[in-house]
Amino acid sequence: MALSFPSLPKLSGRTVAVLAAAGALAVGAVAAGASKDQPAASPSMDAPAAAPPQAAPAADTNSARTAAAAAALPQCRSAMLVPVNRSWGIPMPSVYGSASTYCNLMYGDDPHRGSTVFGDPDTAIRILQRNLNFCYGTKLAVDGVYGSNTRAVVKTVQRRHKLVADGIYGPKTRSAMNWRLYSMATRSWSKGCSSPL
């Protein structure tokens, strides 16, 4: 009689990497605790049993993932006009010295994050603040500082577009939110906002 086993779900590359890291940590901990000269300690009857490890709350896990993802992206330190069609473009935060808008802005960007002093994050933040004011009717001070008010408005926009409300402006928020368009040919702004990305 042949045994049949249920098929296992396919794991994503990220899941495999997390499992591999956890396995490596466990092997390292066992290797560090074991020594050729000393036998492994056995639990005594008097010592209380260690409590089983508890899983981290989902909110903590999500915020840790969000923080890790934000740290992996560069800070928006410039602004550029991203073409939508022949006549219209969107002014938006971008990476300094690049045509990429795959960057982020977060609470405390005033004006540079980390040790990098190149670029102009003040302009990137002002572009975002002006757009939030026009397209979402907010009344942010256009001051070039990603403070608590800017973060709160970004969270509101993220909730409105059904994104994780972490208050970090990044690629997902950029692609979901509405933008005011600008025409270089006529040097005029659109009367409304849209999400053409």
In the block, tokens 């972490």 appear at 166
pLDDT tens per residue, range 1-34:
444 434 434 445 554 444 444 444 433 433 344 3
Q: Which residue has the higher pLDDT, 42 or 154?
A: 154
Please compute the mean of the pLDDT values over residues 41-62 and round it to a whole number: 48
Helix (H) or strand (E) holding 194, with range, is strand 188-194
- Contact by Cβ (8 Å): 130, 122: no
Residue boundaries of the structural domains of the chain: 70-194
Q: How many helices (H) and strands (E) does the chain have?
A: 5, 4
What letter would DSSP give residue 172? H
pLDDT tens per residue, range 139-164:
999 999 999 999 999 999 999 999 99
Q: Is the pTM of the predicted complex or chain greater than 0.85? A: no
Q: What are phi and psi of 169, to 5 degrees?
A: -80, 120
Q: Which residue has the higher pLDDT, 169 or 12?
A: 169
Domain 70-194 has CATH 1.10.101.10: yes
Q: Give the pair of three-digit tokens for residue 48.
A: 């209380």
pLDDT tens per residue, range 103-132:
999 998 866 676 667 788 889 999 999 999
What letter would DSSP give residue 47? S
Give the per-residue pLDDT at 84: 92
How far is residue 105's CA from residue 169's CA, in Å, rounded to a whole number?
5
Give the per-residue pLDDT at 33: 42
